[in-house]
Amino acid sequence: MAERRSTPLIVHPDADLVLPLSEPVISREPNSPLVLDTHELSRRAGTMRTHSMTVQAPSDLGTAVIGIPEGADLELDLRLESVMEGVLVSGTVRGTVKGECSRCLDDISREITVDVTELFAYPEKAAASAEAGDTDVEDEESVLKDDMADLEPSLRDSVVTALPFQPLCREDCPGLCSECGARLADDPGHHHDVVDPRWSALQSMLESTSVSDETKES
């Protein structure tokens, strides 16, 4: 999958000025497309890069009824900014979710755009915060490892929480007939005659008599 070229930037420390750099500096691990190499940010607070890329979706990017299929294209537009605590990664992810309607069981396919924001702490900052008893310290997934930021867990959380608990093909989907399972959207006038249970025995007798008469005639 071809990667869209990144646009490296640096923020001047003494002015509201963003300057382009001559070469892209954010690379990815070849075996983990959602692992970003941040070492070129040089731990200088205020340094920023923007990065756009298309990758294949990892597994389990959704729920049991709807999600982005594994291997489908994901378009990411990211900004990586060096801050005092670590590297702040923010941006959007776009993809196509597929699933089935919770009412009529028809297939669903639609585009989705989700915001992603995650602070990847420097290891020493995370350790110091943990020693100080900071209960806001994230788990190891949000700590830089050798200046590498693994975006996959954060991306998965952002996508899953943005998906509907009960997906619908449309808001007014009438669903299926509770008697026979027919799709009501295909036959708005669909209905079944309801026989009063008190007359069900008589109805059965009439049907039996009708069948008997037809047999005699034949």
Task: Sketch the domain layout of the chain as residue ranges.
Answer: 7-162, 184-217
pLDDT grade, residue 182 (50/70/90)? confident
Pairing outcome for strands 86-100 and 107-121: antiparallel
Q: Which stretches of the chain are DSSP H helices?
A: 123-131, 152-162, 200-217
Quick one: which of 78, 70, 67 has its CA closest to 28?
78
Pairing outcome for strands 86-100 and 73-82: antiparallel
pLDDT digits (tens, 9 = 90+) for 136-164: 555 556 888 888 999 999 999 999 999 99
Q: How far apart are CA 36 and CA 116, in angstroms?
A: 14
pLDDT digits (tens, 9 = 90+) for 106-127: 999 999 999 999 999 888 877 7
**pTM assigned to the model:** 0.67
